Amino acid sequence: MSLTRSPPVDVIRTASPVLQLTVKEVFQRLTPHQKLYAHHVSRASWHGSRIIMRQSSPEAIGIFDFIVDLYKSCNGLWKTLITEGGASAQELSSFLEYAGHFLYNMGNYWAEGDRKFIPDLSEDALIRLAQASPTATARLDAIIGPMLLGPPFALGYPSDSTQSAYYPSEERITKKEIARVSDFLQDKEIELENTRLRKVIADGQSVFEVLQASTDAESRAEWTAVEGLGTVRIVGGDHASELTRVCESLLQAKAYVENETQAQVIDHYIRNFQTGDMNSFRDAQKAWVMDKAPVVESILGFVEPYRDPHGVRGEWEGFVGIADPVESIKMRHFVDQSTTFIRLLPWAIPGVNDGKGPFEKDVFVAPDYTSSYSLAFCASYSFEATNVPNYNDIRETCGFKNIVVANRMNAINDPARPCYYVHDAEAKRYRECTHIIRFITTAIHELLGHGSGKLLSEASPSHYNFDIHNPPISPLTGKPIATWYRPGQTWTGVFGTIAPSVEECRAMLVPLYLIDNKELLAIFEHDDTTKITADELHHNTYLQIGVEGLQGLAYYSPEEKAWGQAHKRAHWAILNHLLRDGGGVLTVEHDSGTNKLTVKVDRSKLLSHGKPSLGRFLCQIHIWRCTADVTACTGYYEDVTSVNEEWRRIVIQQPEPRYKFAHANTFLKDKIVTVKEYDGSNDGLIQSWVERNV
């Protein structure tokens, strides 16, 4: 067949770095007992790899197996594939670059941006590359088409140009049908995080099969007369093979837990993965937040909904981290003062709710906050930090945890990184400040950003978590609130597709609003006397708002009129809001002669214009979120994230490096666990995955 590439896909033509996530030193500090626990939980995490690939695209697992087959055919000695009549050195290099990106993203769509990427190879080159392995050659036949071209070009609601493996239907399922089924299940109090949705036609009627992740393949429930839909059926057994292995590893880990709470978490996880019952997952989260300051931390399950176009179905995630005791002490010191800083947020009212105001929880449950080194991070994207669980009722009653992933943050501290949008005179100092700013704002983002706020709700009929007879006054209208969450409603369910980005935007705005506070910066050891002063951090934070906002434009698809990444959309929203509302505190100069964009910050306006503007934006989306005011929030957020197409064209001509990260592996022999790190190269990254044996 003849394959013609379509422009909307990304062809990988340039090499990008592979960064090693070093962990050996902190791993060696663990006791033999802790090493065994870390090993088995890591294995449980990595056993979910094929789940993520299955959630990414129909061809992803086949591509993964093709890469592994080729590695095994040459025993990792890739240059032996360069033979007369075989692949050239350049073709092999292009394939390895593609393989590295595929393995880090755990699929053939960018985790940041959701666009499809393909190798810079022809069909003939791939065939010649595969000829060393009959197994790889046979596997290539099934994947070569979707591996090399589109449509689909991106992830999104199923259409002629986009696809989502969360909706794996031969029959095209519509956005309206997805919403109707989701609403129906929400009314039945069935949570969707561990499901996919498939539409089939039986006897001329539509049947919507809710595929529930579990080892138990029995059908759970069926409703045959759903108005406007037809039949809705819950079917167990999705990802059964992988979840069976996850449960086996968790059972092995249970023998090495440090306390009874960890054993309870594992029991709840196993029940959830066996039955699909999300109440068991909730029980796991409630117990997990009570396991304070563990040396070996872990997160498992269907956690983040970023890649579901409907914004509710979670991607598998498995994280295992080892605490850094020194940095963790600093984080806990920050936690101890958290209420002080919550009282400084723009909705706080002195004398009301201990000075926090009515849009905050009565008691801020101080979370566990650790700095951890990632041993395993099985996800399509390795975050720098996380704040979980995502269930607001659990967060308000039991608490939550914050984790900064130290080796992930340290890996990208690259002083040679391109600095396209900062004037040459400021670039050197900006680079010196960037890593510090990212660490501080990330720490605040997770604790006070995601950790703040109260969703005003009717928890059950006629039972409210606020005074319904004397509702809080909205700081946006000066009138009593008129909207709130109804029984069974959730934040993501009500706000749908914009929910992930709005929440990230809210969490980003909190540290930006507080970044001038010198008491807060002193916790992170920066003041007026340090080498990089508090004032310099304040100024360079605004430069970073401009830079990250412009970078975010690359993640908007004009073809689909959609954003491919929640965080990037939020970065652009904050920049665009300041450009409109900040009174000139931040501007972007466009030199039409050189086609260059430069961020400019007026230091004299940081406190007089910048902080109030950020406060207005933060207060708006916080109150809208707290009161379920989806109409007002959607209207403003859609408007503030409308794209400057001319700037976007400039930005995509100067792409930022797409880093790849290589994780270590652990190995068990005679009850002794060893850890192995891999070269910071595509070869090392591929080897790590082959030796992971998933």
pLDDT along the chain (694 residues), means of 10: 52 92 96 98 98 98 97 94 84 97 97 93 94 92 93 92 93 94 90 96 93 89 88 96 98 98 98 96 96 95 93 95 86 88 97 96 82 96 90 86 91 81 94 92 92 92 94 97 92 90 97 96 92 95 98 90 90 98 97 93 98 98 98 97 96 89 97 96 98 96
Residue appearing with tokens 């519509």: 174
At residue 6, the pLDDT reads: 39
At residue 459, the pLDDT reads: 86
Cα maximum dimension of the chain: 83
Residue appearing with tokens 């590695």: 71
Distance separating alpha carbons of residues 557 and 170, to the nearest angstrom: 25
Strand order in the sheet with 296-304: 296-304, 315-323, 368-378, 401-405, 385-388
Cβ contacts of 345 within 8 Å, gap of 6 or more: 448, 452, 510, 513, 514, 618, 622
At residue 560, the pLDDT reads: 80
The answer to whether 546 and 590 have CB atoms below 8 angstroms apart is: no
Q: How many CB atoms lie within 10 A of CB 7?
A: 9
Phi-psi region of 19 (alpha: psi -120 to 50; beta: other; left: phi over 0): beta
Distance separating alpha carbons of residues 205 and 202, to the nearest angstrom: 5
**200, two tokens:** 């089939």
Distance separating alpha carbons of residues 360 and 693, to the nearest angstrom: 46
SS3 of residue 377 by DSSP: strand
At residue 3, the pLDDT reads: 41
Q: How many CB atoms lie within 10 A of CB 188?
A: 12
Helix 645-652 / helix 534-552 crossing angle, nearest 10 deg: 100
CA distances from 477 to 159, 315, 359, 470, 473 (A): 40, 38, 14, 16, 8
Phi/psi for 603 (5° steps) reads -55, -35
The answer to whether 455 and 626 have CB atoms below 8 angstroms apart is: yes
Q: Which CATH architecture has domain 162-240?
A: 2-Layer Sandwich (3.30)
Q: If residue 527 lies in a helix (H) or strand (E), which one and from where to where?
A: none
The answer to whether 167 and 138 have CB atoms below 8 angstroms apart is: no
β-pairing, 154-155 with 368-378?
unpaired
Cβ contacts of 649 within 8 Å, gap of 6 or more: none
The answer to whether 277 and 213 have CB atoms below 8 angstroms apart is: no
The answer to whether 502 and 633 have CB atoms below 8 angstroms apart is: yes
Name the burial class of residue 474, with classes exposed (0-12), middle (13-18) and buried (19+) by CB atoms within 10 angstroms of its CB. Answer: buried
At residue 101, the pLDDT reads: 98
Which among 381, 380, 373 has a CA at the least distance from the CA of 409?
373
Phi/psi for 373 (5° steps) reads -100, 125
At residue 113, the pLDDT reads: 86
C-beta pairs of 674-677 under 8 Å, 24+ apart in sequence? 675/23, 675/24, 675/27, 675/28, 675/375, 677/20, 677/22, 677/23, 677/24
Distance separating alpha carbons of residues 71 and 62, to the nearest angstrom: 14
Q: Which part of the chain has CATH 3.30.70.2600?
A: 162-240
Distance separating alpha carbons of residues 212 and 127, to the nearest angstrom: 37
